[in-house]
Amino acid sequence: MRRKMAAGNWKMNGSAAALDMIDALSSAHSDNACDIVICPPAHLLTAACDRAGNGPVAIGAQNCHAAEKGAHTGDIAAAMIAETGARYVITGHSERRETYGETDASVCDRSAAAQASGLVPVVCIGESLAQREAGEALPVIRAQLAASVPDGSTGDTLVVAYEPIWAIGTGKIPTLEQIGEVHAALRADLVARFGAEGEKIRLLYGGSVKPGNAAEIFGTADVDGALVGGASLSADDFSPIIAALAAS
Ligand code: 13P
């Protein structure tokens, strides 16, 4: 049985004041029914970890460098993130793949560095609209999975997020059949590669998850939770998504 996970990616949003949301989520979801992760911008990591304490909310970063240290201005190493108390890091988000030219190979290196520092990478993969319309979604996503995920990954050291690029921030989501088809294919590939551990690796869906569509998405086979952008910026939106996940 995989433990469900609701992860919020704040992207380049949030301020010290926004961390009040962690208190709201901690008290609303003290039953610990599923894993809750908030990924704020890097400058808030330490304060977010302090605020989360030992409560139900864990903290994650939004990217890490593959190297341990060195002349990489503006970057942050996985061990540095771990030092803040954060436990997760998003790797390979499509916004980073598109804007910074991150490749499957570099995402794999970052994810391996995260694992080596005791962080759990949330590895993002997903097709573009053109790829979906050309009927290439499955081969594209499966190739990304194969090349972005480090060898030796286990249910405890890896989370995968399927985020169709065209569904991010658009209000559009794939049909439930399409989500189910992708997640089934990813599950089969994880099991083929990692054996029994492949059954334990959590598969999140991301892209326009909102309180109004969360329950139906979470009712889809092999969807173990969500990676949420816009709707993770307020407790009023994120809390019902967490509740829907806990009830699924
Ligand atoms: P939205 O939920 O705003 O569509 O963003 C999804 C996302 O990119 C999460 O990483």
> The tokens of 90 are what?
């998003």
Residue 69 has pLDDT above 90, yes or no: yes
What is the largest distance, in Å, between two alpha-carbon atoms of the chain?
Answer: 47
Write down all domains in the chain, each with its CATH number in brackets. 5-247 (3.20.20.70)
User: Would you give the DSSP letter of residue 9?
Assistant: E
Determine phi and psi for 76, rounding to 5 degrees. Answer: -140, 135
Tell me how far the alpha carbon of residue 169 lies from the centroid of ligand 1, in angstroms: 6
Confidence category of residue 176, pLDDT binned at 50, 70, 90: very high
Task: Tell me how far apart the alpha carbons of residues 45 and 22 are, in angstroms, rounded to a whole number.
Answer: 12
What pLDDT score does 1 carry? Answer: 81
- Catalytic site includes residue 183: no
pLDDT mean over 77-83:
98
Does residue 200 register a pLDDT over 90? yes
Gap between the Cα atoms of 163 and 55, Å rounded = 28
Burial category of 211 from C-beta neighbours within 10 Å (exposed 0-12, middle 13-18, buried 19 and up): middle
The secondary element (H helix, E strand) that includes residue 193 is helix 176-194
State percent of the chain over pLDDT 70.
100
pLDDT for the residue numbered 172: 95
Query: Is any atom of ligand 1 closer than 6 Å to the C-beta of 53?
Result: no
Q: Is residue 134 pLDDT above 90, yes or no?
A: yes
User: What is the 170 CA–ligand 1 centroid distance (Å)?
Assistant: 9
How far is Cα of residue 178 from the mean position of the Cα atoms in its chain? 19
Active-site residue, selected from the candidate residues 93, 95, 102, 127: 93
Pocket test for ligand 1, best of 94, 163, 179 (most atoms within 8 A of CB): 163
Mean pLDDT of 169-190: 97
Ligand 1 contacts CB of residue 228 (under 6 A): yes
> What's the whole-model pTM score?
0.98
- Mean pLDDT over residues 170-185, rounded? 97
**Does the C-beta of 169 come closer than 6 Å to ligand 1?**
yes
